[in-house]
């Protein structure tokens, strides 16, 4: 169920604030165990295992990088092959026209170039960046997510959303505060 962005009212979700990363991990695992799937975690630094704890499984960027890397190596090698074998064949020192060892550096660099650009562009596209507004910015004390606090948000669009259950899960796992977050 998508939200009508022309209507700024309504509940976006429930947000729990934690003091320690261990508490955030426990709460995320407990929420996942209770069946919540539309949730996200916010932390001032990376926490190993957090993406698995919230059920984040998005592998579009690695596949995009792999595919564009293959395109890069194919284009790089094809360009050299066309230039050296078809368009302007020149026998230098008795070497074969299709010299694989000589073609490797350019094909490798074309692979790196295409893969790097696809990683950067894919990250922006798949994360829908830039995102100047998100409802989580309305959460109480959320400005501390970049300093010293950890947040777990469960969206109201979750099929099994139940505010009382979510609040209990968060409080039982060390939430300092649990608050509603509006659009």
Give me the residue spans of the domains in the chain.
11-44+148-182, 60-126
Fold held by 11-44+148-182? Alpha-Beta Plaits (3.30.70)
If DSSP codes are grouped into helix, strand and coil, which group holds residue 135?
helix
Which letter, b or e, does each residue of 124-155 get, where b requires 16 or more Cβ atoms within 10 Å of its Cβ? eeeeeeeeeeebbeebeebeebeeebbbbbbb
pLDDT tens digit string along 126-145?
Answer: 988 998 899 999 999 999 99
pLDDT tens digit string along 155-173?
Answer: 999 999 999 999 999 999 9
The model's pTM is: 0.74
The pLDDT-based confidence of 6 (bands split at 50, 70, 90) is: very low
């Amino acid at each position: 169920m998508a939200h009508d962005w022309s209507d700024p009212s309504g509940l976006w979700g429930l947000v729990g604030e934690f003091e320690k990363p261990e508490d955030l991990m426990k709460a995320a695992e407990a929420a996942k165990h209770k069946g919540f799937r539309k949730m996200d975690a916010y932390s001032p630094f990376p926490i190993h295992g957090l993406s698995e704890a919230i059920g984040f499984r998005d592998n579009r960027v690695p596949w995009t990088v792999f595919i564009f890397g293959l395109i890069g190596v194919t284009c790089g090698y094809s360009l050299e092959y066309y230039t050296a074998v078809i368009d302007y064949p020149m026998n230098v020192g008795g070497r074969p026209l299709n010299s694989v060892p000589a073609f490797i550096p350019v094909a490798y660099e074309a692979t790196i170039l295409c893969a790097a650009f696809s990683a950067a562009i894919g990250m922006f596209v798949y994360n829908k960046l830039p995102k100047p507004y998100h409802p989580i910015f309305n959460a109480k004390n959320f400005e501390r997510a970049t300093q010293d606090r950890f947040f777990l948000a469960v969206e109201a669009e979750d099929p099994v959303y139940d505010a009382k259950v979510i609040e209990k899960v968060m409080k039982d796992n060390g939430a300092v505060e649990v608050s509603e977050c509006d659009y």
